[in-house]
Amino acid sequence: MAFNPPPLQAAHCLAVIPARNESASVGAVVAGVRATLGCAVLVVDDASDDATAARAAAAGATVLRLPLGLGAWGATQTGIRYARRHGYAGVIALDADGQHLPATLPALFEAQARSGASVVIGTCLERLSRAKRLAWWYLRTLTGLKLLDLTSGLRLYDGRAMDILAAPEASLLDYQDIGVLMLLARNGLPVEETPVAMRERCNGHSRVFASWLVVARYMLHTTVLCIAQLDAGRRSGRLRHAVRTAC
């Protein structure tokens, strides 16, 4: 019989917000999450040199300050590990730049309750430019992932996903997007997408689409990661076959 865990309750989850130099928006994001979900909020300050930590704390968040920048995924993983250590049932991850609207967060919990998925991604296809759509088509073809939006940072993780993403293997990922999704898929965790509204970030620029050079580097790194993951999967399959044969 399949194991069907109870739906996640927002009150038992931790909102994790990775932030680097987001003092202009992080306070409003924290306040919005607390007002909408009523859950605890953790801001992981990724070595900011502005008032990000102070603004987040003033809005009611717990703040972890990283002495060295780990990037968006490193900061998010830090928050996931914190959540596991403190006994939270799940994590809802969102950006600090104001793109993700607090009013849309309950939709992720509703989708998780309906589907029983371990991961729910908030997607907004309207934000994808023609170039992004072409990039995602390439990456979907390469990875075999059947998802529409591969880089949304708005995600709900249950305890099973938290265990996988807190492990040392997940620390090797350069980007949270494709690498995390491939790791979850390789472990057989169900992933659901639900459409949500998003807005333009309040300040700064995308870490992936900041320039054509950054885009090229992202695509190259992700391609290498995908090839490495696919090769690891083939080698693991050959090993399991060899063990069964030997037995």
Which backbone phi and psi does 179 adopt, to 5 degrees?
-60, -45
At residue 219 the predicted structure's pLDDT band, cuts being 50, 70 and 90, is: low
Instruction: Express each pLDDT in 185-210 by its tens digit.
Output: 889 999 999 999 998 755 555 555 55
Looking only at the bridges linking them, the beta strands covering 62-65 and 13-19 are unpaired
In degrees, to the nearest 5, what angle opens at C-alpha 237 toward C-alphas 235 and 241? 115
Q: Flag whether pLDDT at 155 surpasses 80.
A: yes
CB 79 within 8 A of CB 42: yes
Residue 233: pLDDT band (50, 70, 90) is very low
Number of Cβ within 10 Å of residue 134's Cβ equals: 11
pLDDT in tens, 99-110: 999 999 999 999
Average pLDDT over residues 16-39: 97
Average pLDDT over residues 27-56: 98
Dihedral sign, Cα of residue 45, residue 47, residue 49, residue 54: positive
Query: Which string of DSSP letters, residue by residue, matches 211-237?
Result: SHHHHHHHHHHHHHHHHHHHHHHHHHH
Average of per-residue pLDDT across 74-94: 97
Using CA atoms, how far apart are residues 75 and 65, in angstroms rounded to an integer?
9
Q: Measured between alpha carbons, how far is 72 from 68 in angstroms, rounded to an integer?
A: 12
Which among 119, 146, 149 is positioned nearest to 135, based on CA atoms? 149
Q: What are the residues whose beta carbons fall under 8 Å from the beta carbon of 100, sequence distance 6 or more?
A: 29, 94, 122, 153, 154, 196, 198
pLDDT tier for residue 48 given thresholds of 50, 70 and 90: very high
Is the confidence at residue 234, as pLDDT, over 70?
no
- For the beta sheet containing 13-19, the strands, ordered from the edge strand earlier in sequence to the opposite edge, are 62-65, 40-45, 13-19, 90-93, 155-157, 119-123, 191-195
Angle ∠(242,1,232) on CA atoms, nearest 5: 30
Distance from C-alpha of 105 to C-alpha of 196, rounded to nearest angstrom: 8
Surface-to-core class of residue 247, CB atoms within 10 Å of its CB (0-12 exposed, 13-18 middle, 19+ buried)? exposed
Token pair in block for residue 157: 């993780």
Mean per-residue pLDDT for 36-43?
98
What's 25's DSSP letter?
T
Q: If DSSP codes are grouped into helix, strand and coil, which group holds residue 206? A: coil
